[in-house]
C-alpha cells in the first residue's frame, strides 16, 4: 500500500514539473516571437518612410571555412540593395575573427561588397567584435551616435540587434531585415533567439 501511494505521489510530482516546464518553454517562445514580429513590423514602416541615411551597418555571421554563410550572404545582398537606394551612405561591416577561420567576418564582407561593385572608400571595417553586443559597442566607436543608421541582420535577429544599438548610444537607428533562409533554419533560429531574448530580459531585471 505504501509503495503504491509513493508511486502515485511521484507521478503527480512529475506531471506537475512537466506542466511547469512546458508552460515556461511555451511562454519563452511566445514572448520571444512577439518581440521579433513587432520589430519586423516596425522595420517595415521605418523603411517605407525612410528618406535618408548616413550609415548602413551590416552585422557579421559565423563564417564557414573562411566563406560567408547563407545567412551572411542574405545580409550582404540586403546591404547592396540599401547601398543602391542610398548611394551617399557609408557602409560599416561588423565582425571579428571567430572559430577556426583565418580571416575576419568584416574582411569577408568587405570583399563581397567590393566584388559586387561597392566603392572601397564607402566601407568601414569593424573587425574586433565576436557578439551582437560587441558589434554595436565597437561600431559606436567608429561612427557618431546621432547618425541616421540602419542595422542589417536577419529577421530573427533584428529585435536584439536594435536593442543593442540603442543601448550603445544610437539615437536615430532603424532595422532592415534580411531573409532568414530555409524554413528549418528560420524555425531553429527563432526558437534559439527567443531563449536569448528572454534570458537578456531576465538579466535586465537585475540591472
pLDDT at residue 122, as a whole number: 98
The CATH code of the domain that includes 40 is: 3.40.50.620
Q: How many domains does one find in the chain?
A: 1
Mean pLDDT of the 166-171 span? 95
Is residue 126's pLDDT more than 60? yes
State the average pLDDT over residues 47-73.
96
What would the mean pLDDT of 32-45 be, rounded to a whole number? 97
Average pLDDT on 29-49 reads: 96
Q: Residues of 61-77 as b/e, b for ≥16 C-beta within 10 angstroms?
A: bebeeeebbebbbbbbe
pTM, whole model, 2 decimals?
A: 0.90
Give the rounded distance of the alpha carbon of 26 from its chain centre.
Answer: 22
pLDDT band, residue 206 (cuts 50/70/90): low
Cell of 21: 516546464
Residue 71 lies in a domain: yes
How many residues make up the chain in this entry?
207
1 within domain boundaries: no
Give the containing element (helix H, strand E) for 153.
strand 148-154
Query: Residue 4 falls within a domain, yes or no?
Result: no
Q: What is the mean pLDDT of the chain?
A: 93
Question: How confident is the model over 92-119, as pLDDT tens digits?
Answer: 999 999 988 999 999 999 999 999 999 9
In three-state secondary structure terms, 14 is: helix
Helix axis angle for 2-49 and 158-167, nearest 10°, is: 70
Distance CA 47, CA 34 (A): 20
Q: Which of 83, 53, 86 is nearest to 170 (CA)?
A: 53
Q: Closest Cα partner for 173 from 122, 136, 119?
A: 136
Residue 5 confidence (pLDDT): 63
Q: Which domain holds residue 155?
A: 10-205
Kindly state the percentage of the chain with pLDDT values over 90: 85
Q: Residue 15 and residue 31: Cα distance in Å, rounded?
A: 24
Determine the average pLDDT of the residues in 18-23. Answer: 92
Asked if residue 39 lies in contact with residue 205, where contact means CB atoms within 8 angstroms, the answer is no
In a domain, 102, yes or no: yes
Query: Is residue 129 assigned to a domain?
Result: yes
Q: Is residue 2 part of a domain?
A: no
pLDDT at 3 over 70: no
45 inside domain = yes
Report yes or no on 5 lying in a domain: no
DSSP type of residue 179:
P
How far is Cα of residue 199 from the mean position of the Cα atoms in its chain?
Answer: 15
Amino acid at each position: 500500500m505504501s509503495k503504491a501511494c509513493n508511486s502515485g505521489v511521484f507521478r503527480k510530482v512529475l506531471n506537475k514539473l512537466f506542466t511547469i516546464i512546458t508552460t515556461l518553454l511555451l511562454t519563452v517562445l511566445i514572448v520571444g516571437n512577439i518581440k521579433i514580429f513587432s520589430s519586423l513590423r516596425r522595420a517595415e514602416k521605418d523603411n517605407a518612410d525612410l528618406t535618408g541615411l548616413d550609415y548602413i551597418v551590416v552585422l557579421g555571421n559565423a563564417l564557414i571555412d573562411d566563406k560567408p554563410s547563407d545567412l551572411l550572404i542574405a545580409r550582404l545582398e540586403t546591404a547592396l540593395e540599401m547601398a543602391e537606394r542610398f548611394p551617399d551612405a557609408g557602409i560599416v561591416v561588423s565582425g571579428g575573427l571567430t572559430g577556426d577561420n583565418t580571416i575576419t567576418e568584416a574582411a569577408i564582407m568587405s570583399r563581397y561588397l567590393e566584388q559586387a561593385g561597392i566603392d572601397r572608400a564607402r566601407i568601414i571595417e569593424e573587425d574586433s567584435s565576436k557578439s551582437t553586443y560587441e558589434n554595436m559597442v565597437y561600431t559606436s566607436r567608429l561612427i557618431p551616435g546621432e547618425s541616421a543608421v540602419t542595422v542589417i541582420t536577419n529577421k530573427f535577429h533584428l529585435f536584439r540587434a536594435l536593442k543593442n544599438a540603442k543601448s550603445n548610444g544610437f539615437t536615430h537607428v532603424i532595422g532592415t531585415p534580411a531573409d532568414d533562409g530555409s524554413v528549418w533554419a528560420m524555425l531553429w533560429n527563432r526558437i534559439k533567439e527567443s531563449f536569448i531574448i528572454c534570458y537578456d530580459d531576465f538579466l535586465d531585471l537585475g540591472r
